[in-house]
Structure 1
Amino acid sequence: MSGDSEEWQVARRHRGKTKKTKIQVSLNEHLMGIHLSFVIEVINVMIVFFPIDELLMAASGIQHFQEKNRDSLVSADHGLNCSSPGQMHCVCYGLGSFSSCVSARYQLAMLLLLLDALKIELSDCWVFDPVFSSGEKDVLKRIGLSVLTENEEGKRQVDKPTFFYLMHCGKALYNNLLWKNWSKQCLTEIIIIGNSFCGMKERTIDREFNRDYRYISQIAAVCMESLLPCPSHMIDVFSDTAVITFPASGLDKLSDSTWVNSPEPLYKHCVDLEIVCKDKIYFSL
């Protein structure tokens, strides 16, 4: 960051007049520099204590997914008719306020390391969290990520291989994502790094889980999960985190009727939905 330090100096007041706009912009640039320095510092720590190569070896699901994508490059019949088959995209929901939360900074650092390891272009990674401040959005754009302007509530249908980074997100977000892609064709194109579905099921009363989160409930038994290795001092950041994929061999075990009736989740019985809905206004500075 030293080479950029001069760029983030606060503009001084000139004699005879005050240029408020320039001062405000410079303040934003200064804060952006601070936020970026935090991220870079955390990435350096992650490289030492959480080697990305070791992580990828443990997360065999990613490697298998990459192999499948490479095969699709030479496939004459690619199911989704992707404009660039084999080129993986990334979507990140619920990262948190990384300017004020240490865990969110570690999770952002992990995301950037994974994008690099998986050779995903930064501009092909879309991020959203209603808690992002305008300054944090500017930082993410400066890094090169694409910031979504609309709360999708996880309801994004894939049209090419997509890696979803959903660290410690609410169950409804996962359930919405599954609903929007509720077909063998779409689910086989998705990989998730987030909370273990098996862990969700174990921590929730069966009746409520099956009623409120039917898509997670139906898919949990046939998806493939690989828990991420986690250094002891990072338990709070990456606990219960798994790589989740949906191999066709597992999906074929579900009955044909599973895919016929797929109503949009409404969560009428959920007191605490654990996500911010798009019709709820969230104020951030």
Structure 2
Amino acid sequence: MEFKYQTVRSKKNKKNANRKRNVVKDISEWTVQDVVNVLDRRREALLDSSFYTDLLVMLQDKVVAESPHDIICYGVGSIQESKSAQYQFVLALLMRDLLKLPGALYIYDPIFTELDIKVCDHYNMEVIKDNEYCRRTVEKPTLFYMPHCGKSLYSNALEANWSADRLYNVVVVGNRFENYTEGLLDRELKRDCPYLIPAVKVVACTPFPNEFDNNQIFNDLCIQTFPKDTLADVEESFWQKLESAKENDGNKDDVI
């Protein structure tokens, strides 16, 4: 009888081989392609959700109607290290596609890793070089996408555009301003986020749908606009520069 040669693997070797195939690469070893693969999965999950189906209607009604020229994205966090940041980043990409921006998608977070920046470059985003503390003046309709940024940073973005001929260009996707003005003492508001006080009198707010994933990613976010008709009715004194007890460059409670 002729015996054919056959390599016999021990059970231990089989187990080790399977373990190697199932090893999850540590995020510190990730490449741009690794992050892109994760973002593709996040995108699919978001697109397949009832949350996004409902949100899309809101975006088309409230944001597309404003015809933003650019998106400025502050404070999403590290795409490499955070699941929430990955979903928030994907939403920025989806909004860019939806809006068919004639301009650019600018992005900044002080905790970006080198890989985060490479990922932003991969998606043709303009990475802001210096920390502006959200003080960017805009001359064209602009969407400020600021998920879960700190209160002083929302105030900074408003301050930079606080005039009758600029504020109507601003659309903010972020936390609802009234949550701060209703929950803080006047002295805290005047010290930390003075421009939120008058802003709530002229802002129109559309809350995001209620649930997605663990409800920690897009919770408490809304679309906030400043209708021209409302701004036209305010007195000139409304636009006076407000004094702050400190330089509002964020504090320990702020994200960026």
Shorter-chain TM-score category? Answer: 0.7 to 0.9
User: Aligned partners of 1:35 and 1:232: how far apart in 2?
Assistant: 21
Identify the range of structure 1 (159-168 vs 223-232) with the bigger mean alpha-carbon deviation. 223-232
Aligned to 1:34: 34
Aligned to 1:45: 45
- The residue type equivalent to 1:31 in the other structure is T
Q: Taking structure 1 as the reference length, what is the TM-score of the superposition?
A: 0.73
Q: Select which of 95, 101, 104 maps to 1:114.
A: 95
- Count of residue pairs the alignment pairs up: 227
1:180: how far off?
A: 0.7
1:202: how far off?
A: 2.5
Aligned to 1:180: 160
Alpha carbons of 1:29 and 1:116: their partners in 2 closer, same or farther (altered >3 Å)? Answer: farther
Q: Aligned with 1:236: secondary structure? A: coil
User: Aligned partners of 1:101 and 1:43: how far apart in 2?
Assistant: 15
1:203: how far off?
A: 2.6
Q: Aligned with 2:217: secondary structure? A: helix
Contiguous gaps of at least 5 residues in structure 1: 1-27, 67-86, 277-285
8 Å CA contact 1:61, 1:224 repeated in 2:
no
Alpha carbons of 1:118 and 1:52: their partners in 2 closer, same or farther (altered >3 Å)? Answer: farther
Alpha carbons of 1:53 and 1:161: their partners in 2 closer, same or farther (altered >3 Å)? Answer: farther
Superposition pairs of residues 1-285 of structure 1, within 5 angstroms: 31-50=31-50, 52=52, 54-59=54-59, 60-66=61-67, 88-120=69-101, 124-263=104-243, 266-267=246-247, 272=252, 274-276=254-256
Alpha carbons of 1:244 and 1:41: their partners in 2 closer, same or farther (altered >3 Å)? Answer: same
Q: Taking structure 2 as the reference length, what is the TM-score of the superposition?
A: 0.80
1:62: how far off?
A: 1.2
Identity %: 28
RMSD: 2.4
1:176: how far off?
A: 0.6
8 Å CA contact 1:168, 1:195 repeated in 2:
yes
Q: Aligned with 2:100: secondary structure? A: coil
8 Å CA contact 2:51, 2:209 repeated in 1:
no
User: Aligned partners of 1:275 and 1:99: how far apart in 2?
Assistant: 17
Structure with the higher helix share, 1 or 2: 1
User: Aligned partners of 2:144 and 2:246: how far apart in 1?
Assistant: 22
Alpha carbons of 1:230 and 1:151: their partners in 2 closer, same or farther (altered >3 Å)? Answer: same
Alpha carbons of 1:264 and 1:184: their partners in 2 closer, same or farther (altered >3 Å)? Answer: farther
Q: Aligned with 2:139: secondary structure? A: coil
Q: Which has the larger radius of gyration?
A: 2
